[in-house]
Amino acid sequence: MTGTKVKLDARREKQVREAEELLFAGPQKLGVAKGLFLGRFVADWVTPYPKLSPEQEKAVNQSLLELRAFLDEHLDPAAIDRQADIPRHVIDGLARLGVLGMTAPLEVGGRGFSQMGYCRVMEEIGGRCASTSVFVNAHHSIGIRALLLFGSAEQKRRWLPPLTRGEQLAAFALTEPQAGSDAANVQTQARPSADGSHYILNGEKRYITNTAIAQVLTVMARTPVPGKKETAITAFLVTPDMEGFQLLEPRMEKMGLRGTATARLAFRDMAVPKENILGPLGKGLKVALTVLDFGRTTFGACTTGAAKTCLRLAVQYANTRKQFDRTLGEFELIKKKIARMAAYTYAMEALTTVTASLIDRGLEDYMLETAMLKVFTTEALWEVINETFQIYGGSAYFTDLPLERMLRDARINQIAEGANEVLKSFIALVGIRGPGQQLQELQDSLRHPWGEWRKMWLLGLDRVDAAVRTPVVPVKSPQLGRHAQRFGRLVRKFNLEVNRALFRYREEILDCQLVQERLAQAAMELFASASVLSRWDAEISSGQGAHKNGTSQSAADLFLRGSARRTEQALAELHDNDDAAVVATANRVLGESEIGR
Ligand SMILES: Cc1cc2nc3c(=O)[nH]c(=O)nc-3n(C[C@H](O)[C@H](O)[C@H](O)COP(=O)(O)OP(=O)(O)OC[C@H]3O[C@@H](n4cnc5c(N)ncnc54)[C@H](O)[C@@H]3O)c2cc1C
């Protein structure tokens, strides 16, 4: 074995150990996504399509009414982009409307909205101005989230009220020069002071939204672990008035989201009281990942809002712009774009609603679903914006229309809060863990058939059941029967392919990103299809969706057809692909053909 391989194996083992400790804390209910990997459809999490309670519906509608009136009058996204700043009166107005503490409990000054209700609000803001929605998210979805989830009663009482009322603003500081996608590689050090009353922080953070306007930052730093040589990440509450806090670059000049203040900052011998530790000492990575899980739900809502805006703009233009004596909408290639945009937008909204409801209904482990939502919606929005841009032709390129700004703003979505490549790997690897464990246990039991016969019998039954039984998708409307049956067959097929991949690659699958991507792609399509089926079924039952000449229903139908085809394709490519050629070519191009597979 080469030295490089030994090092890689050791690193991988360490990563797997860390992930085990971080992500799989104990017995939890089976969620939708993990169920799909096991060949099951856990219908209760998806159907019936989630609805707000009548009181919440009323409160959310009232908030939306006020918000729309405020945004119509005060929000100028083009000026925000041009001036690279969100005016204070906009921030104050959002604070007055309760937007900056919407999901926080009433007792700390919040509005007590559910995640689903909050997503409706964020969809509205995201549909108008990405800078503003990212500012709100950095404050509310991730800035105060660690306090809400992990703060002690005393910390919540002390820190939250001014933050939820928007008198103070928050930021979340994880990223560093050496810790981007590899969040566990945080280098900022926090060593205890001699008397143990403080931690002394040294290090640098970069790309941190809201820093220049925030009064409270959740900062991740490495602390010693008593009795061990290793250090572990801990979350700290930091205020910019602490001595040693340095704002190196308050507003880094950037391509999009120009209204947000994104900073580079440093801590030089900055003393932070030990009372400012958030959550357990050494568990900061868990804190950070949980916070980001929450943040990803609002990614879904904001991208849905932006997609709806694009669709509206595209339809307007396609119906009015004439070339060759016909409106653009009369050309089939433009129809195709509009139809696909409508289908994706419908699915984005459904997926966001279902994912948010998982949090509201207390599913403890929703990390796969939020990762799927983030990847699916950010990739869908990119396509939707790009197609709208194409329909507008040359005019999209000029700054008097919002499209070039929307395109610039949207590009970061596939990178921030978990690059999509990293999340696809994550989805596949966490997803296959369940079936992988079952198969491993089955294999182990087969070695000792007499001692473990009962376990073997049960595991075998479960595997055989998943292989032969097509999951039932409980739709009420007979009109959806064919789609539901096709979906069930695809879940079964997906599980068979997961098992095949596990047999074929065994432990090596941890390094097979091309295989992981296809499994993740298929799983995301299945989750999106389940959400669309559920939404469509609810609309048929309630008589909604028939308005607008059945637009909703044809968008849903089109999505389900396309999604099934994309799932089949991802699974077929597990067997028929150019992976070896891809890797060989890349290795040659990278000039290091001895590295890699
Ligand atoms: C405008 C903006 C605002 C931000 N706000 C915040 C904030 O408020 N708080 C905060 O903490 N951070 C923030 N970030 C940081 C953001 O989350 C990181 O940029 C992101 O995590 C990616 O890290 P990186 O930029 O260092 O890219 P890298 O980690 O260097 O990755 C570069 C690319 O490599 C690829 N890649 C990386 N790892 C893998 C892998 N394992 N497999 C395959 N491909 C891989 C991906 O394509 C990725 O896009 C912000 C960034 C921007 C641009």
pLDDT digits (tens, 9 = 90+) for 40-64: 999 999 999 999 999 999 999 999 9
Residue with CA nearest ligand 1 atom 41:
422
Closest CA to 527 of 473, 590, 591: 473
pLDDT of 579 over the 60 cut: yes
pLDDT of 543 = 82
pLDDT of 1 = 46
Which among 15, 181, 375 is the best mutation to test ligand 1's pocket, defined by most ligand atoms within 8 Å of the CB? 181
pLDDT of 15 over the 70 cut: no
582: its two tokens: 């891809």
pLDDT of 449 = 55
pLDDT interval class at 437 (50, 70, 90)? confident
> Does the beta carbon of 265 lie inside 6 Å of ligand 1?
no
- Between the CA of 415 and the centroid of ligand 1 the distance, in Å, is 5
Atom of ligand 1 nearest to the CA of 173: 11
- Between the CA of 419 and the centroid of ligand 1 the distance, in Å, is 6
> Does the beta carbon of 412 lie inside 6 Å of ligand 1?
yes
pLDDT interval class at 25 (50, 70, 90)? low
Residue with CA nearest ligand 1 atom 11:
174
Q: Report whether 262 contacts 252 (CB < 8 A).
A: yes
pLDDT interval class at 13 (50, 70, 90)? low
Which among 210, 254, 415 is the best mutation to test ligand 1's pocket, defined by most ligand atoms within 8 Å of the CB? 415
pLDDT interval class at 12 (50, 70, 90)? low
pLDDT digits (tens, 9 = 90+) for 296-347: 899 999 999 999 999 999 999 999 999 999 999 999 999 999 999 999 999 9
- Between the CA of 333 and the centroid of ligand 1 the distance, in Å, is 35
pLDDT of 507 = 87
Indicate which residues carry an active-site annotation. Answer: 417
pLDDT of 111 over the 70 cut: yes
- Between the CA of 137 and the centroid of ligand 1 the distance, in Å, is 17
pLDDT of 2 over the 60 cut: no
> Does the beta carbon of 289 lie inside 6 Å of ligand 1?
no
pLDDT of 5 over the 60 cut: no
- Between the CA of 19 and the centroid of ligand 1 the distance, in Å, is 19
pLDDT interval class at 29 (50, 70, 90)? confident
pLDDT of 596 over the 60 cut: no
pLDDT of 24 = 57
> Does the beta carbon of 517 lie inside 6 Å of ligand 1?
no
The distance from CA 337 to its chain's CA centroid, rounded to whole angstroms, is 25
> Does the beta carbon of 288 lie inside 6 Å of ligand 1?
no
Section 24-43 average pLDDT:
85
- H/E stretch holding 558 reads helix 551-572
Say which range, 209-218, 397-406, 472-481, has the weakest mean pLDDT: 472-481
Q: Report whether 382 contacts 308 (CB < 8 A).
A: no
Encode 451-465: b = buried (16+ Cβ within 10 Å), e = exposed: ebeeebeebeebbee
Residue 267 CB contacts under 8 Å (≥ 6 apart), including other chains? 188, 201, 202, 203, 204, 219, 221, 238, 244, 245, 246
The larger pLDDT score, comparing residue 236 to residue 544, is at 236
pLDDT interval class at 381 (50, 70, 90)? very high
Atom of ligand 1 nearest to the CA of 254: 1
Question: Which of helix, strand or coil describes residue 193?
Answer: coil
pLDDT digits (tens, 9 = 90+) for 458-499: 666 666 666 667 888 889 999 999 999 999 999 999 999 999
> Does the beta carbon of 135 lie inside 6 Å of ligand 1?
no
Could you give the CA distance from residue 457 to residue 395 in angstroms, rounded to a whole number?
A: 66
Residue with CA nearest ligand 1 atom 51:
207
Report the percent of the chain where pLDDT is more than 70.
89
- Between the CA of 108 and the centroid of ligand 1 the distance, in Å, is 32
In whole numbers, what is the pLDDT of the chain averaged over residues? 92
pLDDT digits (tens, 9 = 90+) for 121-165: 999 999 999 999 999 999 999 999 999 999 999 999 999 999 999
pTM here?
0.93
pLDDT of 115 over the 70 cut: yes
> Does the beta carbon of 511 lie inside 6 Å of ligand 1?
no
476: its two tokens: 């009420």
